[in-house]
Amino acid sequence: MVKIQDLKQIHILEAMPDHLLALIGQEAQLSIFSSGTCLFRAGEAVDTFYMLIMGQVALTVALNKDVDVILENIQSGRTFGSSALISGGPAAYTAVCQEPCETITLSGARMQEIFETNHELAFYMMAGVARQYKQTMDSRAKMIKKTLEQHPEMKASIHDIETLTPAY
């Protein structure tokens, strides 16, 4: 069980009413992971949704056997593993704790069951996930545009920059 005050530290839950936070709190667990812990790997099924209270988690993708690219360093208040909240595909990235991490975890399967009967909770949760996704995509679009500004030879070969960095 997790306290409402702890859940309010998570950005995607900021707009959620207390009665729904209480429902999440009943299902949630506090988990502590040591530095270097791999929470899941790209290609694996994700069965847990993570909300980071303290620490940092790197989301990485392997370009080849020797090179990994960090997509994002998740900080306190952010979430990852949203694939667990919907039925479907494997993880697109690997999640590794960069330092000791304190998380709030939710079983994806259990949350899916609750969403079936509590549409208000499903709405607030998915709206929060969608807001976070949009922020991430906006940030990546800015990085792409900045990179292209610094490399005019690359920019010249792209005919429609807006299709490269669409607004969601």
Closest CA to 51 of 24, 23, 25, 80: 80
Residue 150 lies in a domain: no
Whole-angstrom distance, CA of residue 63 vs CA of residue 83: 22
pLDDT in tens, 115-163: 999 999 999 988 888 888 888 777 777 777 787 778 777 666 666 655 5
Q: What is the Cα Rg of the chain in Å?
A: 18
Residue 162 lies in a domain: no
Closest CA to 106 of 133, 81, 72, 136: 81
Q: What is the CATH number of the domain that holds 46?
A: 2.60.120.10
Residue 111 lies in a domain: yes
Residue 168, pLDDT above cutoff 50: no
Residue 142 lies in a domain: no
Residue 128 lies in a domain: no
In terms of residue numbers, what domain contains 11?
A: 4-120
Domain count, the chain: 1
Residue 116 lies in a domain: yes
Whole-angstrom distance, CA of residue 72 vs CA of residue 11: 16
Residue 21 lies in a domain: yes
Closest CA to 39 of 8, 86, 83: 83
Looking at every residue in the chain, the average pLDDT score rounds to 88
Residue 153 lies in a domain: no
